[in-house]
Amino acid sequence: MTLLKATNIRKQFGGLTAVNDLSFQLAKNEILGLIGPNGAGKTTVFNCLTGLLPMDAGQVHLENNTITGLRPHQICRLGMARTFQIVRPFLNISVLDNAIVGALMWEKKPAIARQLAQEIIDFVGLGPYSNELAESLPLPLRKRLELAKAMATKPKALLLDEVMAGLTPTEVDELIRLIDEVRHQGVGVLLIEHVMRGVMALSDRVIVINNGTEIAQGNPEDIVNEVCVIEAYLGKEYAGAVC
Amino acid sequence: MKRLYVLLAFILLILLVLPMFLEKYTLGIFIMIFYYAYLGQSWNILTGYTGHISLGHALYIGIGAYTSTYLAITFGLTPWVGMIAGGLVAVAVALFKGFLGFRFGLRGVYFVILTIAFAEITRLIVSHIEALGSFSGIFLDFNPSFWNFQFRGNKPYYYISLGMMVASVGVVRVLELSRIGRFMVAIREDEEAAQAVGVNSFKYSMIALSISAFMTALAGTFYANYIFYLHPNSVFGMGLSIELILRPIIGGMGTALGPIVGSFILTPLSEMSRAYFSKGGMEGLHLVLYGVLAIIVVLFMRKGILTYLAAGLNKIIRFKS
């Protein structure tokens, strides 16, 4: 069953086309990897999907709702949450309070929202830090807090923007396990990631974009061997060398 | 936490019996402490908790003062009802201002300019309305009675302003624990990130502004019936707008007790130094004192005096177990 469907989305910044007629579908329980070299337009895709940036063309559907042109909080309410690549925790409140904000979106009673937030904080492994200020967390833990904040809104579709960047291999493994568990809870995950270990381990399918345009799509094993993908990442000479 | 409440209850008890031992002048200083603490708290809701900086809060004081006074003079309406009317007018103006500011994405200094502009424009408009006394202002007749919100002696004003201050702390405390309050803080911390977790930042900014404006307007009615004289420059003026934000800044923004602590430090300092420096060519020196204190706090105590005070007290009586 299709959860999230983007049709021909396009975003221009002046003369630069950051996203060019991109279309894809995401199903329940599916993890779709979105990869591409730096500046390919991956984060811009997220910003368009979540309503942070207005799109110039295209349609986005979440389940039976058209979410094109809706404002970010409305899109979140309909069931799509995201993390930010450059983490944006609410710095001056506690880790638990960060998650409570998300939980309060659908649970109006603060006491119950607090319980649910605590469960999610424990789930992402931040339990021992519940009462610390978010400000005191180092980057790897802030990345988890981003995940917790998004999860607290109980999303159907979860957009993860480089949650593994800058983590040690052990921490990456930990996150892979977490994200896989999220998927098994029935969430569809759209994953922007440069850490290939994460992409390979998690993705059911991968879309590669370069200069805002889709250049390849398929299962992860095939994708990494595609000539055009290697070309986009490493340049023409390397594409020849590999094949 | 429990010990903190015991301490606060004890302080409140002292404040309740204090008027029995004080003469009029000292009572007057306490009234000003409570009045500015209340104003600071009202401003704190918008700026300290929600992060929208207002430098034009005198607007709402003026609206509250003029509305209730006008209704009392023209229709004989008791200021007790008039203050609610003033609060509602303030909310109406706040919603218009908020719509312009929040809907069109005015943030930071641009929002500040909007708040200043609204206060200044209103000051000029009121200065030209004959029915509101134009440039010469309004003198209120003194007809002491509870109904008229006017009293002989300072004690009733003392208890009313104390009540307002305590109530304002209560409002903020309830907000802090509520859904609205948590959304307000999320907006202050990072508006886009708040939207990304489902917070309608426009709606909750408007709510915060409305609560803040309503509360501030009530203080305007109090002021009018305590001072008995309204002048556009004094109740709508930039000076008052700045005066009322200094206490929460120095005491601690975004905390329920910061504006109170700030007022207990700054108001007596202001009142006494003003009296002390009132002759011999030293007029205005109390403002220099203010400036120095503000600089010290901004440089060395970013989070306000309250944070350090609480940490210090905590060592003695242990609020937190």
Tokens found for residue B10: 């004890």
Tens digit of pLDDT for each residue in B75-102?
999 999 999 999 999 999 999 999 999 9
**Which residues on chain A are in Cβ contact (under 8 Å) with B186?**
90, 101
What pLDDT is stored for residue B5 in this prediction? 87
Identity of the residue in A73, A104, A152 whose CB atom sits nearest the CB atom of B195: A73
CA distance B142 to A4: 70
- B186–A76 CB contact, under 8 Å: no
**Which residues on chain B are in Cβ contact (under 8 Å) with A43?**
none
pLDDT-derived band at B298 (thresholds 50, 70, 90) equals: confident
CA distance B24 to B116: 35
Domain of A182 in residue numbering reads as 2-242
What pLDDT is stored for residue B318 in this prediction? 62
Is residue B320 predicted with pLDDT exceeding 60? no
The number of domains in chain B is 1
B-interface mutation test, from A53, A95, A101, most B Cβ less than 10 A away: A101
Q: Which residue has the tokens 């424990």?
A: A122
- B198–A153 CB contact, under 8 Å: yes
Distance from CA of B1 to the nearest CA of A (A): 15
Q: Which residues are CB-neighbours of B220 under 8 A, at least 6 positions away? A: B60, B61, B62, B63, B64, B65, B66, B67, B68, B83, B86, B235
**Which residues on chain A are in Cβ contact (under 8 Å) with B198?**
73, 76-77, 81, 102, 105-106, 153
What pLDDT is stored for residue B315 in this prediction? 75
In DSSP terms, which residues pair with A24 in a beta bridge? A6
- A77–B196 CB contact, under 8 Å: no
pLDDT-derived band at B236 (thresholds 50, 70, 90) equals: very high
- B196–A76 CB contact, under 8 Å: yes
- A92–B189 CB contact, under 8 Å: yes
Q: What count of Cα atoms within 13 Å lies in the side-chain half-sphere of residue A232?
A: 22
**Which residues on chain B are in Cβ contact (under 8 Å) with A71?**
195, 200
Closest CA relative to residue B138, chosen from B87, B59, B70, B76: B70
Strand-strand pairing, A16-27 and A2-13: antiparallel
Say whether B290 sits in a helix, a strand or coil.
Answer: helix
- Computed over its alpha carbons, how large is the radius of gyration of chain A? 18
- Computed over its alpha carbons, how large is the radius of gyration of chain B? 20
What pLDDT is stored for residue B321 in this prediction? 39
Q: Which residue does chain A place closest to B195, by CA atoms? A: A73
Closest CA relative to residue B19, chosen from B9, B29, B5: B29
Identity of the residue in B182, B185, B197 whose CB atom sits nearest the CB atom of A81: B197
**Which ranges of chain B would DSSP assign to H, the alpha helix?**
2-17, 24-44, 58-75, 79-98, 109-127, 155-177, 179-189, 191-196, 201-227, 232-235, 238-251, 258-276, 285-300, 305-317
Compute the average pLDDT of residues B68-74: 95
**Which residues on chain B are in Cβ contact (under 8 Å) with A97?**
182, 185
Q: Which residue has the tokens 């929202």?
A: A113
**Which residues on chain B are in Cβ contact (under 8 Å) with A76?**
195-198
Positions of E strands within chain A: 2-13, 16-27, 31-35, 57-62, 65-66, 80-82, 157-161, 188-192, 205-210, 213-218
**Which residues on chain A are in Cβ contact (under 8 Å) with B179?**
104, 108, 110, 113
- B199–A149 CB contact, under 8 Å: no
Mean pLDDT, chain B, integer: 91
State what percent of residues in chain B have pLDDT above 70.
98
Cβ atoms of B188 and B50 closer than 8 Å? yes
What pLDDT is stored for residue B87 in this prediction? 98
**Which residues on chain B are in Cβ contact (under 8 Å) with A117?**
none
pLDDT-derived band at B319 (thresholds 50, 70, 90) equals: low
B197 touches chain A (CB under 8 A): yes
**Distances in Å between the alpha carbon of B210 and those of A196, B3, B114, B116, B242?**
50, 33, 16, 17, 20
Is residue B43 predicted with pLDDT exceeding 60? yes
CATH no. for residue A220? 3.40.50.300
Tens digit of pLDDT for each residue in B147-198?
989 998 899 999 999 999 999 999 999 999 999 999 999 999 999 999 999 9
**Which residues on chain B are in Cβ contact (under 8 Å) with A149?**
193, 197
The number of domains in chain A is 1
**How far is C-alpha A170 from the geometric centre of its chain's CA atoms?**
20
Cβ atoms of A171 and A192 closer than 8 Å? no
Distance from CA of A122 to the nearest CA of B (A): 19
**Which residues on chain A are in Cβ contact (under 8 Å) with B183?**
101, 104
Closest CA relative to residue B102, chosen from B191, B178, B175, B234: B191
Q: Which residues are CB-neighbours of A28 under 8 A, at least 6 positions away? A: A1, A3, A156, A186, A187, A188
**How far is C-alpha B28 from the geometric centre of its chain's CA atoms?**
17
CA distance A157 to A113: 20
Tens digit of pLDDT for each residue in B263-280?
999 999 888 888 787 777
Rounded-to-10 torsion of CA B83, B84, B85, B91: 110
Is residue B13 predicted with pLDDT exceeding 70? yes
What pLDDT is stored for residue A243 in this prediction? 45
Q: Which residue has the tokens 């600089």?
A: B295
A-interface mutation test, from B173, B178, B197, most A Cβ less than 10 A away: B197
Say whether A28 sits in a helix, a strand or coil.
Answer: coil
Distance from CA of A146 to the nearest CA of B (A): 10
**How far is C-alpha B61 from the geometric centre of its chain's CA atoms?**
9
What pLDDT is stored for residue A95 in this prediction? 97
A–B CB contacts, 8 A cutoff, strictly below: 75
Cβ atoms of B178 and B171 closer than 8 Å? no
pLDDT-derived band at B291 (thresholds 50, 70, 90) equals: confident
CA distance A69 to A59: 9
Higher-pLDDT residue of B216 and B300 is B216
- B193–A50 CB contact, under 8 Å: no
Distance from CA of B72 to the nearest CA of A (A): 42
The residues of chain A scoring below 70 in pLDDT are 237-243
Identity of the residue in A72, A90, A150 whose CB atom sits nearest the CB atom of B195: A72
Domain of B268 in residue numbering reads as 2-317
Closest CA relative to residue A135, chosen from A167, A177, A87: A87
Rounded-to-10 torsion of CA A54, A60, A65, A66: 50
**Residue B92 neighbours by CB distance under 10 Å:** 13
Distance from CA of B171 to the nearest CA of A (A): 17
- A100–B192 CB contact, under 8 Å: no
Reported ipTM: 0.90
Q: Which residue has the tokens 């989305």?
A: A9
**Distances in Å between the alpha carbon of A206 and those of A25, A100, A176, A198, A231?**
11, 33, 16, 12, 17
CA distance A60 to A54: 12
- A104–B179 CB contact, under 8 Å: yes
Residue A86 DSSP label: S
CATH no. for residue B269? 1.10.3470
Identity of the residue in B182, B190, B192 whose CB atom sits nearest the CB atom of A104: B182
Compute the average pLDDT of residues B55-68: 97
pLDDT-derived band at B307 (thresholds 50, 70, 90) equals: confident
Distance from CA of A91 to the nearest CA of B (A): 7
Distance from CA of B166 to the nearest CA of A (A): 24
Q: Which residues are CB-neighbours of B296 under 8 A, at least 6 positions away? A: none
Distance from CA of B103 to the nearest CA of A (A): 12
